[in-house]
Amino acid sequence: MGNNNNPNPSKEAEEEALTELQMRQRVAEMNNINKKSSQISQSFKPGSNNLISVSHDRDSFLRSSQNQELAKKNDKNYAYVVGLPRAPNDIEKLLLSLQFGEESIDQYQYIKYYSNNTPSDAVPALATTDNKSSNIIINNMLPEALFNKDNLGAEITSGNIIIIEFLDVKNSQNAIVVGLPGQLGAPLTFMATGGITKQTSLKEIREKFFIGENPKQDIFDRNARKRDLSGITEFIIHETTGFSSLSTSRTLLRKGLGVHYLVSESGALQRTGAWENVLAHAGSGHNQRSIGVEVVSPFYAEYAQTRPERVAPYWKNVTNYAPWAHVKKSSSIKGYIFPSPSQMECTWTLTNIVTSSKKMNIPMKFLGFEKENNRFVISGLKSYSKARGPGIYAHSYFGHSDGAVLVLYCFLRHNKLKPSEAYRACITLIEEGKLKYSANNYYADLNLLGRKFNV
């Protein structure tokens, strides 16, 4: 066990036990809240390269009408990870190779978990037992879930929260990991929002999380999972639908999200998270390896009409033609409010900062640029499938609307256009009649600028 330098070991054990019991309680709360039905049986296709098609039962419970009926009613379950993942044994490798092929075996691992209303309910909290008993419990009593580590885009470690589905629904057995909630399955202590709601006043947010006009540099870092900086390869640019860093911070805190930087309404760069922390802003496939920035911007054109007193001080350019942009559910007014020139230039400055870091590995590569067609993707009705690998992303490449114009501006600045030229070009390129549409995506035609771009 090693030396114990804690002057009060009994108190430490008591605190650990309390923490684990709280996490178990939180898992139960999350499972009770979650009411969405899963469709496990419907997604089963024999021989498909899909985890849901895996079964440890040779006769396959999915051929049982009883289990299929249960599956239609079953909710996804939240679970609490205990211990570290393990590789499949020889027999398991054989079964997996028959399902997925030998070249795919290394992608799969098993992890021990706790989830309420399953056989793991009978397992006592590990912190209430001694080390020897804990090891026996982990090795022999806790159930395991199968997961594809490549698909999850992040490492699973003890203390994470995972989303599982049961292949054997009737008995709550044969679990597979189907997702990671919140901040890549961050510990439950992070997922709690500290009581931040829509009703939380901006005054309270300022008092708790701001110093003057700037958010605290660790505002989104609370209990965030650490990572190796060398594995960071992506820079993802977002736009808010708000009017201030203050309101944006409240929204992110309430939702359990976070970014590493804000660009304020006045165009100031604000550090809000450490590079080494994984923050939730772009989905489990990207959070682990990305730096995120939110540029404070109203976005919706309707605000120029309904909230002119908030828009006018900072944002001057509005277009009623923005076919790629989402429209507020409560409005029929289409269009887009451009970030200000100072915000765009600040975003370009930040792009230089993160791509020039020797600790990270983010290249100055604009994934929305299609050299062969001399065009730049603005957004799509679906995710932009060509945007893959290390480089600079707009959030719009993932099926959203935001970030695309900012990334286009940075691309033009990288290609030596002056700030005023790049800003005006962004407005000109997306005017009605100039955007091109192809394969579910809208493109800015760079030929309209009278030159061929190479990078």
User: pLDDT, tens digit, for every residue of 135-146?
Assistant: 565 566 778 888
% of the chain with per-residue pLDDT over 70: 71
Separation of alpha carbons 332 and 25, rounded Å: 43
Within a domain: 208: yes
Dist. CA 61–CA 170, nearest whole Å: 9
Which of 158, 179, 200 represents a domain boundary (last residue)? Answer: 179
- Tell me what the mean pLDDT of segment 58-81 comes to: 51
At 89-127, the pLDDT tens digits run: 888 888 877 766 666 677 788 988 888 766 665 565 544
Same domain, 343 and 233: yes
Measured between alpha carbons, how far is residue 87 from residues 29, 242, 376 in Å?
31, 46, 43
Assess if residue 2 is contained within a domain.
no
Same domain, 75 and 202: no
341 inside domain: yes
SS (H, E, C) 163-227: EEEEEECCCCEEEEEEECCCCCCCCHHHHCCCCCCCCCCHHHHHHHHEECCEECCCCCCCCCEEC
1 in any annotated domain: no
194 pLDDT above the threshold of 70: no
Check whether residue 212 and residue 105 sit in a common domain: no
Q: What is the overall mean pLDDT for the chain? A: 79
- Looking at the structure of the chain, the number of domains it has is 2
Residue 364 pLDDT > 80: yes
Tell me the average pLDDT across 9-23: 50
In this structure, the answer to whether residues 282 and 344 fall within a common structural domain is yes
| 254 domain residue, yes or no | yes
- Direct distance between the N- and C-terminal alpha carbons of the chain, in angstroms, rounded to an integer: 56
Would you say residue 323 lies in a domain? yes
Q: Are 127 and 17 in contact (CB under 8 A)?
A: yes
pLDDT band at 175 (very low <50, low <70, confident <90, very high): confident
**From residue 151, how far is each of 107, 109, 187, 282 by CA, in Å?**
9, 12, 20, 15
Averaged over 66-89, what is the pLDDT?
Answer: 66
- 66 and 92 co-located in one domain: yes
Q: Nearest to residue 297, comparing CAs of 238, 249, 220? A: 238
Domain finish residue from 179, 210, 244: 179
Residue 56 lies in a domain: yes
Reply yes or no on whether the pLDDT at 160 is more than 80. no
Give the per-residue pLDDT at 381. 60
Angle between helical axes of 341-356 and 419-429 (0-180°, round to 10)? 110
Q: Please, what's the b/e burial string for 350-378 (b: 16 or more CB within 10 A of its CB; e: otherwise)? A: bbeebbeeeebebebbbbbbbeeebbbbb
For residues 232 and 260, what is the distance between their CA atoms, to the nearest angstrom?
A: 13
Residue with more model confidence, 195 or 234: 234
Same domain, 293 and 254: yes
Over the stretch 18-68, which tens digit does the pLDDT of each residue have? Answer: 455 666 666 776 666 554 333 333 333 333 334 433 333 333 433 344 444
Quick: pLDDT tens for 425-436: 999 999 999 999
374 three-class SS: coil
Residues 174 and 199 in one domain: no
Q: Are residues 90 and 227 in the same domain?
A: no
On whether both 336 and 203 belong to a single domain, the answer is yes
| Claim to verify: residue 291 and residue 406 sit in the same structural domain | yes
Q: What pLDDT, on the 0 to 100 scale, is given for residue 33? A: 55
CATH number for the domain including 409?
3.40.80.10
Does residue 184 form part of some domain?
no
What is d(CA 317, CA 433) in angstroms, rounded to the nearest whole number? Answer: 18
Q: Which domain holds residue 115?
A: 9-179
Q: What is the pLDDT of residue 41?
A: 34
Report the pLDDT value the prediction gives residue 414, as an integer from 0 to 100: 98
pLDDT of residue 190: 37
Which of 152, 179, 206 is the C-terminal boundary of a domain? 179
Same domain, 326 and 277: yes
> Do 283 and 421 fall within a single domain?
yes
